[in-house]
Structure 1
């Protein structure tokens, strides 16, 4: 049992001399003294110190890994953010160019439409003027035909009347 305890104490990190003293003090034939208790307490404290050191090492390692991971994450985020900003700016430039092109085409079509509209207005005004002139000409001819017919009727009535009265 003594060798097994000694080996176990060595495995958990207790130094060889203290492990031998603790193993010897737990021998059933050995009378326990105050010094044995102090050896046990020292073994416990050494084990506690090693555990604390391992925990501190693990925490330091974890903190270092966490900081490295956080730094990588921040770098990746900044890279993605920069890439996203660049893509957005490129898309905005492209959209602005397309909008400018569409605006130019719109104003071109609007000017063309305005020109066609003005030409149509002129043609409609000319056609209306021609129609008015034609209507006045027809009315004037009709007036002359009616007035001429009335004069002919009066002249023929006068001629017939004169013929029979003379």
Structure 2
């Protein structure tokens, strides 16, 4: 039987836990100083953007003239006692949903091509190629966004009171 847990993850995801060495309100204030609120990032060069609150912290990197929707974005929150930041880096939800539809469409076309009695023009290689490209794009985008994760993680660690990382 096919065990889906053995398949490689389509979308990369890495967890992050940072112990706070400062009080939670000081952490949130410090992090808010490094992160620009959503909607005010236009024409600002290279900034970290997103909402910062105790129950939800979402941070992504925005650069002028460059966009990578597959780059890792941080999503997390503070623990109940406020001593630990827990979250993960992954692609945006809209990107994950779009690519799931893309791959489902590619699989559907492959199935339709190989079913007997279904007349479709073209080679079965086209939808196979679409599937392979769709499966590789998240990894490539993650690789191109590797600096985004480092920059976001450094800001979180600094705000948590761990020095100038």
Q: TM-score, normalised by structure 1?
A: 0.23
Q: Which structure carries more relative contact order (alpha carbon 8 Å, separation 6+)? A: 2
More helix by share: 1
More strand by share: 2
Larger radius of gyration: 1
